[in-house]
Amino acid sequence: MGERSERGDEGGPGGEPEAIGQCTECGEVYAVQHEDGDLRPIGTDGVCECGNDVFESVAEQ
């Protein structure tokens, strides 16, 4: 078996959640990881269902 990084398969859709992020276009909320200074939704190809790829951090209440 190959080695995996601590964050999972790089570039893949999986990984451990690090924060909650909200799409800046439609408001959809995702579990996200920090990647290269941006937020990347887990379980997707890096974009929201609406096609947007910009997310902002949501403070848990």
**pLDDT tens, residue by residue, 25-55:** 999 999 999 988 999 999 999 999 999 999 9
- The structure tokens listed for 41 are 């939704």
Answer yes or no: is pLDDT of 10 > 80. no
DSSP string, 1-61: ----BTTBSTTSS-----EEEEETTT--EEEEEEETTEEEETTSSSS-TTS---EEE----
Handedness of CA 3, 21, 61, 59 (dihedral sign): positive
**Residue 60 — very low, low, confident or very high, per pLDDT cuts 50/70/90?**
low
